[in-house]
Amino acid sequence: MEVRPARTPDELAEALRLRQRVFADEQGVPVAADRDGRDPEALHVVAVEEGRVIGTCRLVFDGRVARLGRMAVEARRRGAGVGRAVLEEAERLSREAGAVRIALHAQTYVSELYARAGFVERGQKFFEEGIEHVAMEKRLA
């Protein structure tokens, strides 16, 4: 498995299709909620295995804060370290871009993945698109 920024329009399209399978098909999130217009400005991280995108997230930079979102892993590969590897690469790329912290909204059922990576919960739990989330962040510098 190789984890890195998406290199081609085809890889980005495959990452978007993975997000649609995970968020829309599995979780019932409207496609319009996932496609919020920020993808063109984002840095997309992909995990590629045998030529297929099996994991992804995006980073949107707001000053020196990297906003990580849209983390998705192919269903058959969950629990195999793909999400952790994508998260590690997103942190590396955020530091490289000059970010001093990463902020995200974690679905609560996977918040432990982020906690193990050093992210800390901030504030109360809340709902986005009918799914319970918690704000989390990690200082990078």
Say if 120 falls within a structural domain. Answer: no
Structural domain contains residue 25: yes
User: Residue 12: which CATH number?
Assistant: 3.40.630.30
Strand, helix or coil at 44?
Answer: strand
Structural domain count of the chain: 1
Does residue 112 come out as left (phi exceeding 0), alpha (psi in the -120 to 50 range) or beta? Answer: alpha
pLDDT in tens, 75-124: 999 999 999 999 999 999 999 999 999 999 999 999 999 999 999 999 99
* Sign (positive or negative) of CA dihedral 61, 64, 67, 71: positive
pLDDT of residue 41: 95
Q: In this structure, is residue 17 part of a structural domain?
A: yes
Residue 138 lies in a domain: no
Per the structure, the complete domain to which residue 36 belongs is given by 2-103
Residue 130 lies in a domain: no
Q: Mean pLDDT, the chain, as a whole number?
A: 95
